[in-house]
Structure 1
Amino acid sequence: MQGFLYSEVLTVLALMVGGVATPWWVAQQGGAQALALNGTLTSVAAFLFMPLLAPLGDAWPKQRLMMAGLLLSALGAAGMAGMISAQAYSLGWVLAIGALGALAWGLMAPASLSIAAELVPSAQLPEALRLQRSAQSLGRVLGPAVGGLLVSASTGVAVWAQCGLLLAAALAVRAIPRHAAAAAAPRGAWRDELRQGLKASWSVKIERGWTLVSFVGSTCLLPGFGLLVPLKLQSLGLSGGWLGAAEAGLSLGMLGGALGGSNWVAARLGRFHTRVGGTLLQGLGLCLAGATSQGLLLVLALFGVGFANSCGVLAGQTHRMLAIPAHFRARLNAVSMMQLQVSAALGPALVGWALLHAEVSTVYVAMGAIGALSALGFLLVPGLREMLSLEHEQVRDWYAHQHPELFHAQSSPTS
């Protein structure tokens, strides 16, 4: 588990450093059009690769997939760093490296989301997921500062550092115990597994309802975490330093929730109410961020949003992971990540349209309010309250018990 946590910190730190350095260089060399094209094509590639590669996460050792994804990401970072160092800008190569990164993410992300359930007993899974979330939040806290410092020295140095961090993460993954792969599948099984995963994600009422409610909520909430923050600060006439403070506030709130805040809240309110309340408070916090005219209050609001985000996510993540049979986890996690990617693309588009008709503060408050109202959708998801009330051993393979026809028997990987 220790190697996995090290890899999570290093991976998120690398992604944050690259997320600062690469767009900066592409915008300098190719302008906003090249930056937008790269972002769009990378998102489309990730959306396609995620479901296509998801069956591998249920058939191959997850440790091996994570290593492959990290090494491919490091290769892409090395290629980008080489271009920057040589001052040899090529939009074609930038797009190719973006597609390679999407391929790497498609291999790595579903495995990373579900591997914790293989590393610890069911009773320890909440603690394992809390530690995973803490590791990711630590990377988020450190990433912008490290990336900014490196870019101020040299963009090339920053991307070479990203490559080194990804290689270090791959080395950390080697310390994760490798579980045996499933038996070799017959020809055509990959297509069948992909179809079964998509069918299960829609046919299980809890999974379908959870995904739809999350889609509405994340479409409205994600712009409030990212796109709307610098626009709001600019509308207030505040300096760029406030953007760093706002990002730090959000990340520290997430870290606080992961380091024990979510457990404290769930112990007092219950998992279901924590899940609903987490989404509700995120939306209300973004309403406050949009309505305020004070930079400090905006930072504090985003801290609260980050805390509520960790509480809401962690309250349901453990039970959902245990409820999904082990040989379906990567595929269903991939569907959830596809939903997030669509939300991440649709949300900014809606914000852009709304800004043609209203001020930043009005749009910010409106998106937060709709996000808060989306929490009520969890009340309508059939069986969700019952599932979240179960103990960890009771909820294991719960989807299979409720829908045996969707989850064909398959032996779980063994160490």
Structure 2
Amino acid sequence: MRTAAETSTTPRAPLRVAAFRRFVSASLISATGSAMAPLALAYSVIEQGGGAGSLGLVLSTSTVPTIVFLIAGGLFADRVSRSRLLFLGNLLAAGAQGTLAVTVATGHATTASIAACGFVSGTAASFTVPAAQGAVAQIVPAEQLQQANALLRLPGNAVRVLGPAVGGIVVAESGAAWALAWDACTFAVAAVLLLGLRLDAPVGATAGVLADLRAGWTGFWSRTWLWTYTAAGTVLVAAWLAGFQLLGPLVAARHYAGARDWGLVQAAFASGLLAGTLVCLRWRPYRLLTVAIAASGALALPLAALAWDRPLALVLPAALLAGIGLDVAIVAWTTAFQQHVPPAEQGRMSAFNGVGERLAIPLGYLVTALAARAWDDQGVLWACAGLIGAAAALNLCVPQAYRVNRLTGDERLEATG
């Protein structure tokens, strides 16, 4: 029987669980390295004489494995101990980043070697992401899942605000190798912390890999709310990346004060993510999935403001609201997923969902490149904002979405039993 302290739903209640404190510590430590890694990776390519083509190759080789191997990662996450899988994945990433740091420091880095290390890191991520999704539900009591998910987002969002600036200083003063070495060390420390969780393997039928894969796909497709959210998310993420990440800096350079103003927009968005996490620590909505869908529609706001050529004073609050909406959506969605998907299936369900959203990355950039030939930047931004709004609105038309709500104790047993 749990004590009152263990079943409390106060914002910090999950931190009373020792295993969760270990999990959060691993997340915080890893986040400090991951915040520096993109900048260090870019400059490691530049330092060895590479240009845009080389950087594109490196980025693609780190992204492709997360799509190709994610399903395998989901299968393993439902068959073996998730703490052991997290340990091995972080250890593999530590080895890849450590090797990269050494080659960059010694002047032996090439585009091929950097891409190879990125491929290994991406492969490691494809196994750790599904395992982490299910691990939280094993560690924390069901009534504390939302607070736990918010607390897990808190370190990454806090580091997101300061990390790039600190990473820039480290790279500028000491070189990319030191930032990469720090990233490797954080992965290694996180690996040790995660191994100490000692989570049991999920309890479920494991007739064989192919049988588990077929059962996973059947379970995914039978949950209309799950595959429709994934489909809408693919469109939404593609439109967001195309409009904000790709066109945003270009529009800032042509219509605003360039990098300075775009940096402020990025900072406003990151601050919104942090504020959204704080909202989720206090607000416990009943309709989890509909809140997630509606909140994700806020991503259209800064794209519309940029397309409408609004002053920076209006773009900044739009970016702030988009960040709040995105983080509320992520926490609400994750909580709904953990409550409505049986623990023995969460690895595979998370993998199928993740593949859809990761396919949005190349899709969004490709469609934008084609659309830019026919429309100007403002036209493409309006299209991206419209797609985000349409994806959210259509997803709200799915009747099953209104039945994926916060569960009581008896309902949880029925849903996951």
Taking structure 1 as the reference length, the TM-score comes to 0.88
Counterpart for residue 408 of structure 1: none
Counterpart for residue 133 of structure 2: 113
Question: What is the CA–CA distance in structure 1 between the aligned matches of 2:189 and 2:261, rounded to whole Å?
Answer: 32
Give 2:190's aligned amino acid: A
State the SS of the aligned residue for 1:226. helix
The equivalences for 1:37-116 within 5 A come to 37-116=57-136
Question: What is the CA–CA distance in structure 2 between the aligned matches of 1:55 and 1:294, rounded to whole Å?
Answer: 49
Judged with a 3 Å threshold, the aligned counterparts in structure 2 of structure 1 residues 237 and 244 are, in CA distance, closer, same or farther, namely closer
Question: What is the CA–CA distance in structure 2 between the aligned matches of 1:392 and 1:139, rounded to whole Å?
Answer: 35
What's the CA shift for 1:388?
1.9
Q: State percent identity of aligned pairs.
A: 22
Question: What is the CA–CA distance in structure 2 between the aligned matches of 1:339 and 1:70, rounded to whole Å?
Answer: 23
Judged with a 3 Å threshold, the aligned counterparts in structure 2 of structure 1 residues 283 and 104 are, in CA distance, closer, same or farther, namely same
Tell whether the 8 Å contact from 2:290 to 2:396 is kept in structure 1 after alignment: no
Deviations 1:214-269 (A, max 9, x none): 222222123334222212211225242333322221111011111125753837xx
Question: What is the CA–CA distance in structure 1 between the aligned matches of 2:58 and 2:35, rounded to whole Å?
Answer: 17
Counterpart for residue 4 of structure 2: none
Judged with a 3 Å threshold, the aligned counterparts in structure 2 of structure 1 residues 387 and 239 are, in CA distance, closer, same or farther, namely closer
Question: What is the CA–CA distance in structure 1 between the aligned matches of 2:413 and 2:306, rounded to whole Å?
Answer: 39
Counterpart for residue 401 of structure 2: 384
Question: What is the CA–CA distance in structure 1 between the aligned matches of 2:103 and 2:67, rounded to whole Å?
Answer: 26
What's the CA shift for 1:206?
1.9
Structure 1 stretches of 5 or more lacking a match?
402-415
- Select which of 163, 172, 189 maps to 2:208: 189
Counterpart for residue 211 of structure 1: 230
Tell whether the 8 Å contact from 1:287 to 1:366 is kept in structure 2 after alignment: no
State the SS of the aligned residue for 1:60. coil
Deviations 1:277-330 (A, max 9, x none): 212222134212332343343232211100011122222321221111111101
- Select which of 373, 388, 391 maps to 1:374: 391
Counterpart for residue 30 of structure 1: 50
What's the CA shift for 1:193?
1.5
What's the CA shift for 1:50?
0.6
Number of paired residues?
396
Give 1:84's aligned amino acid: V
Counterpart for residue 190 of structure 2: 169
RMSD of equivalent CA atoms:
2.4
Counterpart for residue 266 of structure 1: 285
Question: What is the CA–CA distance in structure 1 between the aligned matches of 2:95 and 2:401, rounded to whole Å?
Answer: 42
Structure 2 stretches of 5 or more lacking a match?
1-19
Deviations 1:321-345 (A, max 9, x none): 1111111101110111111110112
The equivalences for 1:145-160 within 5 A come to 145-153=165-173, 154-160=175-181
Counterpart for residue 128 of structure 1: 148
Judged with a 3 Å threshold, the aligned counterparts in structure 2 of structure 1 residues 115 and 347 are, in CA distance, closer, same or farther, namely same
Give 1:149's aligned amino acid: I
Tell whether the 8 Å contact from 1:11 to 1:166 is kept in structure 2 after alignment: yes
Deviations 1:83-108 (A, max 9, x none): 11111132222222121111110121
Would you say 1:316 and 2:333 are equivalent positions? yes
Give 1:210's aligned amino acid: Y
Counterpart for residue 9 of structure 2: none
Give 1:123's aligned amino acid: E
Question: What is the CA–CA distance in structure 2 between the aligned matches of 1:80 and 1:296, rounded to whole Å?
Answer: 42
The equivalences for 1:343-354 within 5 A come to 343-354=360-371
State the SS of the aligned residue for 1:181. coil
Counterpart for residue 358 of structure 1: 375
Counterpart for residue 143 of structure 1: 163
Would you say 1:202 and 2:221 are equivalent positions? yes
State the SS of the aligned residue for 1:266. coil
- Select which of 317, 320, 336 maps to 1:300: 317
Q: Which has the larger displacement, 67-76 or 134-143? A: 134-143
Tell whether the 8 Å contact from 1:205 to 1:382 is kept in structure 2 after alignment: no
Q: Which has the larger displacement, 278-287 or 151-160? A: 278-287
Give 2:353's aligned amino acid: S
Question: What is the CA–CA distance in structure 2 between the aligned matches of 1:4 and 1:265, rounded to whole Å?
Answer: 22
Q: Which has the larger displacement, 52-61 or 324-333? A: 52-61
Judged with a 3 Å threshold, the aligned counterparts in structure 2 of structure 1 residues 7 and 358 are, in CA distance, closer, same or farther, namely same
Judged with a 3 Å threshold, the aligned counterparts in structure 2 of structure 1 residues 365 and 184 are, in CA distance, closer, same or farther, namely closer
State the SS of the aligned residue for 2:219. helix
Tell whether the 8 Å contact from 1:144 to 1:244 is kept in structure 2 after alignment: no
- Select which of 330, 343, 347 maps to 1:330: 347
Give 1:65's aligned amino acid: L
Question: What is the CA–CA distance in structure 2 between the aligned matches of 1:378 and 1:245, rounded to whole Å?
Answer: 32
Tell whether the 8 Å contact from 1:58 to 1:328 is kept in structure 2 after alignment: yes
What's the CA shift for 1:18?
0.9
